[in-house]
């Protein structure tokens, strides 16, 4: 086999390759950073045998999700629907937000709700509203 001599890479070609690699790496880092920062979080609220949401008040960001876990032996709901409230003060929704209701949650059941509208959400448990089982989500 004949030996073929390769032409040496010039300094200019090395510089161009280096600049290209730099922009490629920078673009990849920016895309990765954007996807990581755009990832929404999840906050857990426990439903207890003491007829409480714990924590009672949570602060999250637009796009985050809250997951309620029924750790109680009783059936509970997570309800933010003015039409289902016995007392108007037990429910609040920001302008443009839609009402939600988990339905009955048995022991060990969970319910997830994503929040896309900023503001204060006040929700309650239908069977235990009279006992003051109310919680709040503040979405910033």
Domain boundaries, the chain: 9-39, 42-139
Which CATH architecture does the domain made up of 42-139 adopt? Sandwich (2.60)
- Contact (CB, 8 A) for 78 and 99: no
How far apart are the C-alpha atoms of 47 and 78, rounded to whole Å?
Answer: 9
Residue 21: what pLDDT?
A: 46
* pTM of the full structure: 0.72
Q: What are the CA-CA distances from residue 106 to residues 66, 73, 92, 99, 126 (Å)?
A: 18, 7, 25, 21, 13
Phi, psi dihedral angles at 60 (to 5 degrees): -135, 180
- 71-97 pLDDT, tens per residue? 999 999 999 999 999 999 999 999 999
CA 5: distance to chain centroid? 60
Reply yes or no on whether the pLDDT at 121 is more than 90.
yes
For tokens 């920016």, the residue is 30
Above 60 in pLDDT, residue 134? Answer: yes
Each residue's pLDDT tens digit, 1-48: 555 555 565 655 554 545 544 444 444 444 444 334 446 799 999 999
């Amino acid at each position: 086999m004949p030996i073929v001599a390769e032409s040496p890479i010039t300094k200019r070609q090395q510089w161009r390759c280096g600049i290209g690699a730099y922009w490629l790496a920078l673009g990849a880092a920016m895309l990765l950073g954007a996807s990581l920062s755009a990832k929404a979080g999840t906050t857990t609220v426990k439903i207890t045998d003491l007829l409480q949401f714990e924590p009672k008040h949570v602060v999250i960001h637009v796009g985050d999700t809250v997951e309620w876990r029924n750790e109680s032996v009783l059936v509970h709901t997570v309800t933010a629907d003015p039409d289902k409230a016995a007392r108007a003060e037990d429910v609040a929704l920001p302008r443009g937000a839609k009402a939600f209701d988990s339905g009955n949650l048995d022991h060990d059941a969970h319910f997830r709700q994503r929040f896309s509208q900023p503001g204060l959400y006040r929700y309650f448990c239908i069977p235990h509203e009279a006992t003051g089982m109310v919680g709040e989500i503040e979405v910033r």
